[in-house]
Structures are given as structure tokens and as C-alpha cells.
Structure 1
Amino acid sequence: MTDASLLRRPLSVPVVSSVLAALLVSVGLTGLLPPPAAVALAGVGGCAPVVGRLLRLAAVDGRDRRSRLCRRAAALLVAAVTVAALTVAVPPLVPAGWRVGVAVAGLGAATATFAAGLLLLPGHSRSTPRARLRRGVDVLGLGTALLFAGWVLVPSGPVPPVVRVVTVLGATGLAGLLVSALADRRRRPGAARCRVGAATVLLGLAGLVALEAYRAPAVTLLTLVPVLVGGALLTAAGMTRVAAGDPPGPAGPPPAWPRVTAPAAVASVAAAGHLAVVGGFSATAVLLGLAVIPPLVGRELISAADDRRWAGRLAAREAYFRTLVSGGRDLILVLDDRLRVHWLSAAGERWFGLRRSEVCGLALADLLHPDDAPGVLTRLAAPPQDDGPPLLVARMRAGDGAWREIESTVSDQRDVPEVAAVVLHVRDVGDRRRLERELRRVAAADPLTGLANRQELLRVLGERAGPPGALLVVDVHGCPPAQDAAGPGVDGDALTVTTARRLRDVVGPRDLVSRLSGTEFAVVTDAASVPAYALGERLLAALTEPWPVPTGMARLRVAVGLAELTGGDPQDVLRQADLARRRAVQLGRNRVEWYDACLEEQLVRRMDLERELPGAAARGELDLVYQPVLALVDRRPAGIEALLRWRSPVLGTVLPAELLPVAEDLGLLGELGRWVLDRACRQLADWSYGGRELWLAVNLTLAELLAPDLVPRVATVLAGHGVPAERLVLEIAEPGLGADLSMVVARLAGLRAMGVRTALDSFRAEHASLTRLRRLPIDLLKVQPQPVGPDEGTRPLIDVVVGLGERLGVTVVMAELESEPDVDRATRAGCRYGQGFALARPATAERVEAYFAEFPSAFR
């Protein structure tokens, strides 16, 4: 059975007991039933539900010590209530001479069982000697007063001895029970109810003894029924609460029952009643009245000693806390209901310069900064929150008139009668706040330039809630760590500081300039997209101005990426601007690029290529396809061009136009070139075993051509595969020759000297190209289709190129022939060889092998 069920079940017991007792008393008063019989039935009937309830409590199972004590106490209380009910019920059944004896025996038995049951109630605590002395004096005082009252209020005439004995013993027991109940009414309310109930039942039995001794009319016995039943109900209610754990009563001030005034009042009322009815006092009565005085005086002396002791403790505690308060740096302000300063601690004058005589009586708002006072007063007026006392941050006026930055914790004690005030604990946090601001400034700034750093930039972007703006990421090539590009003798830090100054000079006053890394800066502007692009152009112009250095003038190369601010994730906006910046770098710098989705796709593709390309040759992902070069007269193969393909399992097939720029940026051109040359020469050797006299063309980039080890490497590969040098043709694209023509001529001459033939690819019929053609030591000239137009008006131009080639001893190959008309025009112009989809498509080595099988022999 749970504690909650124990507290809920007995709700019907008082109703049943009270209704049954009231009904039987009414029957006795009306004469429908003899009063003695009505008293007997009312006592037994009113106590029967109580006995049943106590029996259920005595049967509750429990193995701990408290449960065992509760069962034993409930059993004894069952016996006590049963004895009390039988004491009321038996006298009408016995002769008149025995009734007093029966009542006395029942009173004694009930007293003994009640005492035993109350002593077994759990929850007793060991009292100090001083507490036991106070309780003993209280019992003595109240018992003496009750004894005096019982002595003088008995009817006049001879008093039966048994009444005197019951009066003396009953007063003492009743006083003890009441004093104990009042002392424990908050700590052990269930036990206190049990004591009050027992005292009430015993008081009713004592009244029964007195009425039987004086042979009072039978109807007067009906007055005892409410006392007996009420006491039994209180006993059951208290025992129920004890069995449920005896939860303490509500918190509050300690009980202050009138320990002195109650005995005095009882004695005074009894004396006044005696004087009014009888008149004089007997000597015994006078002695009993005087006996009331010593316990009262003793209780007063004990109270005075307690007061002195508590006063000493309070004084020591007050001195202790005064020492703590006066020695601290925190200012304590006590405010009244109108939030006026009632008291302030010594720290007010010591640390804040506030004199108590000048501050007390002032409103709190008069001490606070005008901008902070409304918010503080609103917080103080708000209802208390569950998350603890509020923390008020404000500026407070000090004694010298300066404003101090403060934090205050609030303790609202207006509901506490002893305080009835609002207590503020104020601390000066000015130094801490200044240090925090300085730390934030240092943490948010670049130490070299003083610009905002990346974290501050992201914070500003994340807190932006105003109109849309733009973010510009500026990449400066020439600052450290790439300062070598600016030339020797350049102070990298000075160059970075100058770059930051130029950025600040160009941007607006509300724009934020930050340094992302050693060579990257960023600008956040409120301008719209078009003005932001114009700002990027101005930044570009300012940063590309020459920078004077000891050895001359340093020039920076700048790339600017622009992305619009749409209120999204700051990291995403920064990524978009950085993608635009990377595009500007790829396009040669000194330009402003705008972010769009297509650009992101291209850059993502570029990043995928850069990630997957390293190690592609080792993983076997590179492949060669071969496109035959045919003689235009008889359409028979004369040569083959090897074309590189990257078969990436992630990106698919990647062509050289997309592959080679990435390889150049990653420094992989040499590795790819060596692989292509080795694989092409191996395949050429395989085809040569079949008796085919074909030449094989391999494309070179300018970087590969100018590599110092090109000539010996080519010789090594040719010798390793047993391929004659004249069967290999190395092609260089004419647009990639650049300005260093002399180095190109020297390297081509070195290749021709060892027997390797050379070719110029993508030749354009322009004046510069024709002039350059005279200097280049080449064997083949591959002309792109641009000189060949759809009409016959372009034929003289083709004739000029072919004729010039014949005069220079250069074989002309017309490339990219996509249709039969293109082939016819090239043939009429006198070209010997052609290459293109109209003649043969690029294919794998196996398919080219099958294609060669259609011809009995190959032409050189």
C-alpha cells in the first residue's frame, strides 16, 4: 500500500463516525432511547469505524524498522480506542456502585495503552538538555494551571477522592500531551494529532469518572460522546499520516504558542469562575494558585536566557557578515518599494566614491546613465524568472562624476517581512569589459595590417540583416609568400601594409576590409551588384599601380572575385566569391570576375580534374587514339597522329584541350609527355614489324619543347624501341610558340639534327606567321581549316600557303577536313596530305590496325 493511498482512504471514516454518533445522541436527547443506552451505543458506534481504520493500518506490510513501529503503534492505539469505547459502554450494564470503578479502570487502561502507542510512534529525535528543561517547565506550568482549574471548578460540597486523584493526574498528563503536540505540530504533524486525539479521549474518560462519582443525571453523559468520538477520529487521522511517512507541515515561522499566557489565562479564568460561583478560596486552592507562578517565572527566565544567547549569536553573526560586506569590492544597495536607496555598504565610498549621506534617499534611476536607466527599471519591475536572479548591465555614476560599467545581481526580498527591500549586488566590471573589448579587437584583427581577419569577416556576414550587398575577394600576386614575383629586394611586410592601405583608401567608410591569408583580402560592401563591380575595378586600378622598391618598380597582379550577399550562409558566400577569384586567376589575373552558377560548375569540374589527374598514368587511366594522315591523291595512309585521352572512371573521357592546362598548372606535363612518347613509339615499333612505312606524329607543348632533357630523352626512347628517328614527327602548335623564338628554333634544330622530323601545327595564314615560318626548321606544316572558306575566293590564299611550303621544302598537311568539299578544295590547291573526319576518324590501336589491313602497303 502506497503512502498516497494511506492518505486518501480514510476520508469516509470521520463522516460515518460523526453521523452515527450524532444520530444516537439525538435519539438519547429526545428520549426515544434511554440516555445510558444512547451513550453506550454512540460511543461504540462512533469508535467502531476508527478501530477498523486502525486495524487496517496495523495490517500494512513492511519490513523496515519504521513500518514495524507503525504496526505496533497502530495495534496499541486500536486497544486504547477499544478500551475507551468499552469504558463508555459497560457502566450502564453494571450496578450503580460499580460504575465509578469501571470508569476508573477504563481510564487507567486507556492511559497506559495510549502512552505505549504514542511512545512507539517513529520520528523521535534526541533533545538537548536545554530543550528538555524548557519542555519540562512548560508541562509543569500548564499542568499546574490545569490542576488549579480542576480543583477550584469542581462542584461545591464533599469531593470524592477519586475525582481529586483524576484531577491531579489528568492535569499532568493533559499538559504533557498538549505541550508535546504543540512542539511537534510542524515537524511531526501526524504524531501531534495522535497526542491531541489521545488527550481528548482521556479528557472524556476523566469526565465520565467525575460524572459517575457525583452521580450526575444520565442525560449529562451524552456530552461526553462528541469528546470521545472526536478524540478517536483525531487519533486515527494522525496515525494515518504517520503510516504515510508523516510529511512535515508547510514551511513558516516557528510555532509561538503562548507558553506563559496560556497557563496564566487558564488559572485566571478558573479563579474568576470560582469567585463568581463559590466566593472564597480554600487554603489548598490558594496554594495551588500560587504554585502556578514559579513555573511561569522559570519559563520567563529561560526565555530571557535564550534571548540573550540568541542576541549574542546574532551580534556575532552580524559582525561577521558586516566584516565580509565592508571588506569586499562589491557594492550592496538596499532599495525600498519605490526603488530608492535605503542603505549602501562601505564599498560605495571606498571603491565608488559614493557617500552614504548623499546617496541614501536618491532614486536608483538618478545613479544610472540616462540611456541605461529605463531598461534596468523595466527588468526590476518584471516578474521573477525561473532561471535565477536577473543580471543587470548598466553604467552607474561614481562619486567623481565618471560613469562606471557595472553588473548587478538582483535579490528581491520584498516578500520577506524582515527585509522588505530589493537588494542589488553591484560590481565594477569596467576593467574587465575594456580587456574583453581589447581582446576581441586583437582576436578580430590581422596583427600586421590591422584589418579584420577571417573570423571577423564571417561574423559580420552572419550578422548582416540590412540591405543586400556584395563580397569581393582580392588575390594579390606579389605579396608574401609570393613576393618573389614582385622582384628581389622587396620588403614583403611593407608591400602587404601598402596593399591594405590602398584597399582602405578606395572603399567607402562603411565597407569592411579584411585579410583572409597572406595574399588574399576581402571587402564587404553595401553597394548593389553593379556599383560593387565598379568598386572592384577601382580596387584593381589602385592595386596594380607600380610600387617603388630599391631595385626599381614592383608591379602586382591582382584577381578580384565578386559574389552578391543574399543573406545565406557566410561560408557559402565566401566560397562563391573565392570561386570567382579563382576564375580570374585562371584567366590571367588583372580582372574582375562575377560569380554565377555556370562558373561554379566549371570550377568544380576544374577542381575535380586537379584532384583526379595526379597518378592517372600509374593507375593505367591514360590512353592513346590514332588518326591516320592520308595522301589526298589515292586516299592511302601515309602517317598517323597520336592523340592523348584520359579514361577517368570518375570524370569519364577527358580530351587534351581540357587535360593539358590542368597538367601544366600541376606540373605534370613532363610526366604525361614521357608517357605519350614512350607509348606512341612502342606502338609505332609494333606496326613497323608488319612492313608499314608510316610516320607517327606526337604533339608537344612549348614547355616540353623547351625542357633541357628533351633531345636526349627522345633519343633514348627511339633507341629503346628500335624506331628510326625519321619515322617520328614531333608537332608544336604555332599559337603557343610565344616570344622566345630563338630557343624554339634551337630546340627544333637539335631534334632535326638527330633525324627526328618536326611539324608546325595550327598554322594561321597571317603576316606574323609567314614571317616566323622562314626561321623555323620544320619538315611538315599543318594548316587549320580557317584559310579554307566555303567559296572559291579563298583558293588563291590556299595556293599561296602551299606554294610557300614547296619553296621552303616543307610538306603541307591540311588538317580538320570535315567534309568532302573540304577535301576537294585541299586537293585542287595542291596539298599532298590531309587529315580529318572526312578521311578517317581517331580510333584505338586495334581499329587502326584493322584499317591498315585494307591496304596492301603504306606510303611514306
Structure 2
Amino acid sequence: MAGAGGCAVAAARLLRLTAGDGRDRRVRRRRAAVLLTVAAAVVGATVAVLPLAPAFHRAEVAAVGLGAATLGYALGLLLLPGHSRLTPRTRWRRGVDILGLGAALLFAGWVLVPPGPVPPVVRAVTVAGAVVLAGLLVGALDRHYPGTARCRLGVAAVLLGLADLVVLLAYRAPAVALLTAVPLLVGGALLTAAGMTRAAAGDPAVPTGPSPAWPRVTAPAAVATVAAAGHLAFVGGFTPTAVLLGLAVIPPLVAREFISITDQRRWAGRLAAREAYFRTLVAGGRDLVLVLDDELRVRWLSAAGERWFGLRQEAVCGRPLADLLHPDDAPGVLTRLAGRPGNAAAPLPGDAVAPLLVARMRTGDGGWRETESTVSDQRTVPEVAAVVLHVRDVGDRRRPERGRPRGAATDPLTGLSTRRELLRVLDERGGTPGALLLLDVHGLGPARDAAGPDPLLAATARRLRDVVGPRDLVARLSGEEFAVVTDAGPVPAYALGERLLAALTEPCPVPTGMARLRVGVGLTELAATSPQDAVRQADLARRRAVQLGRNRVEWYDACLEEELVRRLDLERELPGAADRGELDLVYQPVLALADRRPAGIEALLRWRSPVLGTVLPAEFLPVAEDLGLLGELGRWVLDRACRQLADWSVGGRELWLAVNVTLAELLAPDLVPRVAAVLAGHGVPAERLVLEIAESRLGADLPTVVARLAGLRSLGVRTALDSFRAEHASLAQLRRLPIDLLKVQPRPVDPDEDARPLIDVVVGLGERLGVTVVMAELESEPDVARATRAGCRYGQGFALARPATAERVEAYFAEFPTTSR
């Protein structure tokens, strides 16, 4: 009666949550409340009628009530939030958790029943209850929706109480033993009502990281261990069935441990990538970033401290901020920073609101630099707990303002024009033809106004004046940026850029030795554009020159902005492309030239981006290299290619499959064991895999390349040298490389050179060295005929077969009963 009363109270609380009209947006939650109310009523009714039922039928009555309540609770829980939003990866992880806990509960229920014949209803409840309870308990560990988790935990308690009644009644246990089910029934029903109340109120999702894995691994092991110990203590040995059930607990635990390790590596990789990304942003900036603790001591400073201010990390960290500030400016700055958290830059009483902290800061050589600082007080954020200063050098901007009338047009350190003067001259020119050159001079040190101009800066300004014409304007825009405005046409302006480049890159004597500057020049024509547009266009060309390695002159054209936007789009979309299923492989057959039958196939990577369309490797692989994603893409390609090769091998086709690897992948120390693991995982013979490395990518690290190729060959994997040009320079190192296949280009670099003799030499040398020669890029039948006459056995190219998807290649294979060896 106590259990029935508790269920009645819970049902009444749930019934109040079902109120509302059809227009209520929470109709799913109201339906869930109705189903949970019905289930609670069924439980209460089942418990209430047990005393009225015949003693020998009470176990069956309780089992029927248990089944009906389970159905009602299951339908109600499926309507609560959190279930439909599970990703496939999460569903797989949860399935493994349920399998592990279910096996442990089934083992416990199997071995803890009293010895002797077991009633069928007990066996049925044991098997079904283990699965249901495992699913509810695993779902209750979800921290994103606390209300739903409480409902699942409450339902698990109620169903466990009913299962307890079924077992006790089946074994005709004393009446006092039935009271053990009362706490489970009452507590579970009330907990279900409390969780449904929270879920009906909205139960907002809690943004958390990955939930802890230890309960999912520890709970099944603990349940199985306790059950086994109890059985050994009170019963004795195990039956074969019990042993099998106990062993069934182990595979899910192993799988869950593997999933946990994979999740931890994935989260660690994401964290490391984000940290590296933000470190790169901070390290490349010109602003100095200072992190201060509660006592306003320097905890960390960015790389700009040593680059622009001459402040070294070990000399500054741990020192009070006051030691870096001018004695006249330190009191005001420290007073503002000592304010209450969240208002560190608040003005002093009676002061006007000042968004910036203005102060003179000490440099590494003992001088002072005029700075402006923005303050971000993060002392209330536990993960940061610091004050962050973003310090900007404003000395170059303020010196002309102090020493000259407002609007001065000359830089005081170099005597060149200023940015303001440059914009004024460009504005006055209107649509007059001419050109603007923007120069990035890398290697200039910070200006030292206390000891006069830096000698390297003065030499740079002098060389600029010596090269330009008398009517050309030379301006200094910032510390390392200069500009030249000339009336010359496009071609003479480009020649002027080359002369400027040659003059500025000449070694320059300085007190410490000889300095070498690296210069990037951007050039744009002056037409009917505004001064701001002209500077922007020249700056884009300058950026391109810097990206390409400096010491070059780059034109601006309309495609430059498109390429820059395209590059930014690629950098934004490429990370995570493999996880989103956007990568694909196409396959190009390699045919035997004698009978035109397929002997091998090459896997070619494609990126099917929903935003950018199909992107070829030549475009996105350089971006992937800059982003550090080549390893991830290489692992995906190798795994997918070997999986496809394993599928094709089922039909008895003995094809070899070639996969391209970059030099970075080849030099990776884990390449050989990783390839061995992939081959073993897919059951692919090692001799069926060919790894190709482009000849142009070998570089200077040839000994390491030779060692890595030898390691692959020791596994049985064949290696190939791709894009081998039939030229005399490439033949010298062919003997040093442990390769099995040689993919030769049919045409030499020099169009005037005859390719036939060189191809004959390569094929003959390949036969002497035991290397199989494959003629690549056969685009026409004359190319195929030339390769055949040279004695080449295999060929690849559009004239033989075009790259296609796996399905089309399978249809192509169907035309050939067997394959060439």
C-alpha cells in the first residue's frame, strides 16, 4: 500500500503537467507527461492489486504490470529532449555502454538467483530487465539534459522495484521481504515526477565537454565483480552458462576503453590545434600582450615583446608592471589597474572617461617607448584569472604631432613623406596615369629616437632616394613599410621595382656586422581610383610578394583579390572535411600496354565541398600543408584506399593500388607501423599496395627518404617514384632509391628535346635495376604507341582510362575476366 500510495502521488504530480491547449509549443513534453502518468498509474495499480490476487498467480500479475509500465515509460522517455539529437558517433558509444552494463547486469541476475530450478518468469525478467535497466542507467549519465536524466534514473528505480517484486513473489519469499521494493517504487516514482517537472519547464541544454568515461567502464566491472564474489561465497562454482555470461562483459569494456582513448585524443587534438592557432595569431602581431596576476606582476608576454620592444621573457616575467613603466606614468596606470575587477580601466575621480592607458614603457636597451594600452580584466574568469594588456607603440605617430605643426608631411627619422602626405598627393593626382609601389622591408630594427635614427633605417631611406626619379614621391608608412609614387607607365614602374629590390637587398654594414634585408614589393597602376583603393590594391600585391617568399615584385590584378578570398575560404572549410564526409577518392586504372588489361589502379583524392564545389589536390594540399592537416588527410586516404582494395579483392582480382604520399608523410617516424596496421586491419596483402612519392619532392633529405623507403619494402609494400622526368639529371640518383616502380613522364621539360631516346634509356635502365616502368600521362594514341615501342610494359593516362568513382571502375573491371600481372 505504501508503494501504491507513492505512485499515486507521483501520478498526480505528473497529471498537472499535461494541462495546456493544442497550440502549446511543448506538445511533445505534454504527451510525454501523459505517458509517464499512465505508466505511474499502472505501477500503482499493479502494486495495489497484488494482495487481492491468488498467491500462486501474484508473480505473473507483477510481471504483466512490469511489462505494461515498461512500455509506457519507454514511449514517454522517447518524447523527452536529448534523444533525437544524438549523433551517430554518440549512438554508437551509448550502444557499447548499454551492451557492457547490460551484460554485467544479466550476469549478476543469472548467478545471484537461489540454487535450483529457476521459474521462467524470473529468467524472462532477468534478461529483459538487464537490457532495459542498462539503457536507462546509461542514459541517466547524460549531463546535457538534467531533467531527462532524472526521469531515466527514476524510471530505472521503479522498474527495478517491480522486478524485485516479481522475483520475490516467484520464490514465495516472506511478506516482510516485499518491503524492500517500497523505497525503489516510491523514490523512483517521485524522482520521475521531479525530472519531468524540470523537463516541462524547458530543461535547457548544458554546454559541457565530453562526459566522464569512468562510470561507464567501472560500473559494469564492479557489478560483475560483486556478483561473482557473492556467488562464490554463498553458492560455489559457476555453470558453463554463467562463465560465458561473465566473459561477455569483457569485450564491451575493451571497446569502451578504446572509444575513451579515441575521444581523449580527438579532444586533445582539437585543443592543441586551437592553442596553436591562437598562439600563431598572438606571436605574429605587432601589439605587445602582457598578462598580469592579481598583484600586477608580469606572468607572460607575447613574442612582440622581444621583437619590437627588446624585452625578453626570462628578464620580465615575475617583475612588477611598475618596473616597466616610466616613474611619472606608473602611479596613474597602477591606480586604474588596481580598481575593482571588471572595471580596471575606470577613470580616476574627476577625470574624463579614458578608454586607453597612456604611458611610457621601458625597452630592452634602456630607452622609453610611448605606448597606448587597452585593458581586458579577466580576474573573475577562473580559466584566466589575470589582467590582460594589449600594448601598442604610438611613438612614430606622436613624435610629428609634438615636434611639428598638425598635418606635418615629413617623417622625422628618415626625412621621407608620411602616410598623410602620400594620401594627399594621390588625391591631388586624380586620374593622372602612374603607379604606386608598396615595399615591405623585413629586417629593420625598432627606431631609437634617444640615440638618433637607426643606421639601417637611414641607409634604407638613402637607397630609396638614390633609385627613384626626381619627381617620384617616397614615403614611410610605418616601421617597415615604404611607398613610392611614380609617373612612369606600367613597364617602367615594374623596372623601377626591380631596381629598388636590387638596391635594398644589397648587404648593408652595421655596427654588428653586415645586415641583409628581405623585401617584398607590391605594384598597382594609378587610374580612376581613390587614394585608399590604390593603397589597398598595392598592399594586396605586397602581401602576395611576402607570401611567396619576398625578394620579388608582384602586380595587382583583379584576380588577386579573388585568389585571396579563395585562399581564406579554403583555410576556413578544409579543417574537419574528413569528419564531415566531404573527402572522396577516384581511381584511374593502370593498364598493360600489350593487351590493354588492368594491372593496377591509382587512388586520387578529391574534396567535394558543399560550399566550394569539387576541389583538386593541387589547390588544397598546399593549404593543408600550411594548416598542418597533411597527416590527417594522408591517414584518411590510406585507410579508404585499402578498404576499397579489400572489397575489390573479394572478387579474386589481383590488382595493385597506388597511393600518393607527400614528403612530410614519408619522413614521419610512424609511417611504417601505421601502414602495417592499416594493411592488417583491412586484410590486404602488403605487395598489393604501392606508395608513390613525387621525384620533385625528394629535396635534400635523400638519406632519410632512402631509409624510409627501405622500411616500407621490408613490410612487403612496393614503392614508386612518381613524376620522373626522362632527363639526364634524374638518372643519377635512380640507383640510390629502393623503389619497385618508376612512373615516367612521356615529355621532357625542354620542348625541343626528343623524348624517345631518353625514354628508351629509362626503360633499359629500369630493366637492369629490376624496376617496373609505368608510362604516365598518356594523353593520346601516339603517346601510347611511343611508350609501347620503347618497351614499356604499363601505361596510365586519359588515352587508356580516365579517373572515375569506385562504382564506375567496378563496371569497367567487369569487361575483363582476369587482370594482367
TM-score, reference length from structure 1? 0.44
Pick the structure with greater CA Rg: 1
TM-score, reference length from structure 2? 0.46
